Amino acid sequence: MQKALYLGASLLFSIAFQASVLLFPQYFQSYAWAVKYVWMACAVLWISWFVTHSGFWKQKSTSNQVPGQAITQTANPITTQTANPTVNVHIGSPAPPPRPLAPRATPNIIFLSSRTSRGLFRSVARGDETFVETGDRDNPQIVLACFRNDPVMNRPNMSARNIRAQIIYRAAQNREIGNGIARGCWLGESSDMVDLDVGESGCVILAIVDVDGEISNIWKRRQSGGGYGDTVQTEIYNLDRSLQSIELRLISGNDLLMAPIVFDFSLVNDAPTVTARA
């Protein structure tokens, strides 16, 4: 726009000046002596203009080539990029394979066995109540399921913390007996949860058969004690002879540590038998 205004003004000025010379020559004859100097000054100004604007013409010529080059480069960018991606990206060498992710450390809880034994309930103080294994035949019979945090080679191992045992009892036709136990009792433990470091084992009490053949179990009730901490009390869960199966789940936090295990239970001559299903 500026160039158009400049050229238009110059053209109109030239026409007006020449018309003035033709129409009013008497006014310009007295300045005839200065004509040659005006032409000389004009030549100097034009030469100076071309010299000072040589960079402008070069820049304009270069800028005229940029769009063409951009079109050439972007006309087929996919072809240019994929023609030899190894050369462009890796300078002829193959890309290194991705590094495998390191395995995450997790506990490895395995089921060892189920068995029957004899046990005795001990209460040292409220909240410090345990059921321990004994060899006295006068004590109740107990049904146990034992586990171990088994170490594994060539992978990170870790301890299992705050494991609680959930137990579900069923009669015939898969009918549940009661609401089940949310916090089962661990052999020799007063708390409702246990920690199993790598290589350590523990046993959950699945059922208790007293000397009269009555079936029950004990479980732990955790109650919030406010600023004094939680309290754990031992409660009795009554069962009957309709019991046919026991399902056990080991939970840490909100996660199952292993697949639930179902045991078939029977009572013959007041002697309990328990077998884990395959």
Residue-wise pLDDT tens digits, 90-147: 566 777 888 877 778 899 999 999 999 999 998 877 778 899 999 889 999 999 999 9
Is 55 among the domain residues? Answer: no
Is 170 among the domain residues? Answer: yes
Q: Which residues have C-beta within 8 Å of that of residue 56, sequence separation ≥ 6?
A: none
Is 224 among the domain residues? Answer: yes
The DSSP letter of residue 247 is E
DSSP H/E element including 263? strand 261-268
Is 97 among the domain residues? Answer: no
Number of domains in the chain: 1
pLDDT band at 9 (very low <50, low <70, confident <90, very high): low
Structure confidence by residue, pLDDT tens digits, 22-39: 776 666 667 777 777 777
The parent domain of residue 215 ranges over 109-276
Is 115 among the domain residues? Answer: yes
Q: What percent of the chain is modeled with pLDDT above 90?
A: 53
The answer to whether 142 and 131 are in contact (CB under 8 A) is yes
The answer to whether 247 and 167 are in contact (CB under 8 A) is yes
Is 75 among the domain residues? Answer: no
The answer to whether 272 and 207 are in contact (CB under 8 A) is yes
Is 82 among the domain residues? Answer: no
> Rg (Cα) of the chain, in Å, rounded?
49
Report pTM: 0.63
Is 225 among the domain residues? Answer: yes
